[in-house]
Copies of this chain bind each other. A is one copy, B any other.
Amino acid sequence: MTAPGAGAPHASSAVAVEAVVRTAGPAVAALMERVEQRLSQLAVGHGPALARHARATIAAGGKRLRPLLVLLAAGEAGVDDDADRRLVRAAVAVELVHSASLVHDDVLDGAPLRRGAPTVVAEAGRIAATATGDLLFSRAFAELAAGGEPDDVRTLSSAASALAEGELLQRADAWNAGVDLDRYLHRCELKTGSLFEAACRLGALASGPSARADALAAFGRRIGLAFQLLDDVLDIAGPPSRTGKARGTDLLDGTVTLPLILARERDPALATLDLRALDGAADAEAVCERIAATGALATAKSRALAVVEEARDRLPDLPQRQRHLLELVAAGVVERYA
């Protein structure tokens, strides 16, 4: 889980997001368009040095899954201009924090490519990439602060703290084959769940004082957790033709994820495996096979699907249409794996 929610180039989430937006109708589509426009404005508006890297980062474009969650958690869009402005700001801010974390992750991994394009660190070096991440990060808070809603800023800053804490935890646990399930799940919630949670909470807050904000935030956290669990399964399951990266990349980074945690209870050789002893892609591939042979991938996948189910089941009382759209997002997260 070196790149939370980075997804794979061939994953189907981009398609899923588009499909949900189409289903959601013109009001949501129009807001998503405003989010895109604002993101490009931010990329060009701050001097040549920033413009180059920030534009590349923002324009390379994620799936915009988090901005979509902001809009859907709000319920009906297009009802009130002020609420819409607040939603767009929140969606932009969430995507900026996500982008910032990806840029920093790429620095730490020395990653050459993301979504098929050269990373900022590959193109411009560590200094420019670290600064670009910091800048996207501060822009996110500037964007939210412009709205004058302290609750929104609090929500995002808490998520951003969790994200950084998750990264620290991952670092602290690197190469430690003894990491247990609770600690792993906690890390996933920090690294990925927290920003999905913030996206849903921000959407709920923008639609007015809402008793549903906590419940929608919990939905977001679960969806984010499931997203990360499936990402980690894909790292072991491959195939590379689908994920766009070699199998077992996490293992080579010393990152212990759910499949290995489950598999080591079933295979004594895996229980005593020292990840540092892995020497290159062929070794990693062999461990992936061994993990797969224990049936751990299926168990891990079931666990992720159960989390998605739980997310769906615990959705609060919502208008039919809003519920349907959020369920489509949940289904889209699962489809990434299918």
Contacts and interface: CB of A to CB of B under 8 A. Distances in A.
Interface of A: 46-50, 53, 100-101, 104, 107-108, 124-128, 130-135, 137-139, 141-142, 144-150, 153-154, 156-158, 160-161, 163-165, 167-172, 174
A131 B47 contact: no
Given A134-B104, A150-B145, A169 B49 contact: yes
Given A138-B161, A164-B134, A49 B171 contact: yes
A139 B168 contact: no
Nearest to A104: B130
B141 A171 contact: no
A130 B150 contact: no
18 contacts: A46-B161, A47-B165, A49-B169, A50-B168, A107-B130, A124-B171, A127-B170, A130-B130, A131-B164, A132-B164, A132-B168, A133-B134, A137-B164, A138-B160, A141-B141, A141-B153, A141-B160, A150-B150
A141 to B, nearest CB: 4
A142 B161 contact: yes
Give the oligomeric copy count: 2
Nearest to A108: B127
Contacts of A49: 165, 168-169, 171-172
Chain A interface SS verdict (over half): helix
Contact of A150 (B137, B148, B165): B148
A124 B172 CA distance: 9
Given A153-B145, A153-B153, A171-B125, A50 B165 contact: yes
Q: With a 10 A CB-CB cut-off, give which of A107, A134, A147, A167 has the most chain B CB atoms.
A: A134
A163 B145 contact: no
A108 B134 contact: no
